[in-house]
Amino acid sequence: MTATRIDRGSTATTEIYQDGTDLVFERTFNAPRDKVWKAFTDPGLIPRWWGPHETSTEVVEMDVRPGGRWRYVSRKADREDVAFFGEYLEVSPPERLRWTFMFDVDGLGPQGGPETFTFEDLGGRTRVVTRGQFGSVEAIEGALATGMVKGALETWDRLASVLAEG
């Protein structure tokens, strides 16, 4: 059975689509792969770009190795803090990172699943592809209803700005 690719909010800079029960984000950053890899794996850099505009992120835990745990807390003045957490499943510098990406949803408990990042070297630029495995179309719809696409787009815009700073 062939999965149907469904656009889920692509923009001029970021392609977002559903591939079966996976949600995929693709973007090319104007920075070398080692620099992009560092932005994803350095706990000192994460708070500078992770999360939508007008949020701050605290790295509570970040042990970047297979079996290591991570936990970020996102804060914004007009809402409760949101915790994101999981475990690193694969760390293959600088081309691949796989983790469980979990977050708490009021009344539903922890939601999420495995997420894989690939970092493709384009000679001074880097294409990042994130593939989140949701397990069902209903789970994707639930995640999208939280405003996930807007938040992801703003997060990657912030990352592009940090990478441009040098």
Q: DSSP of 7-27, one letter per residue?
A: E-S--SSEEEEEETTEEEEEE
Q: What's the CA gap between 33 and 132, in Å, rounded?
A: 21
What is the pLDDT at residue 8? Answer: 84
pLDDT band at 56, cuts 50/70/90?
Answer: very high
The CATH number of 5-49+90-165 is 3.30.530.20
Residue extents of the structural domains in the chain: 5-49+90-165
What is the pLDDT at residue 107? Answer: 58
Q: Is the pLDDT of residue 35 over 90?
A: yes
DSSP 2: P
Tell me the pLDDT tens digit for each residue of 136-148.
888 888 888 878 8
Q: Is the pLDDT of residue 9 over 90?
A: no
pLDDT-above-90 percentage for the chain: 69
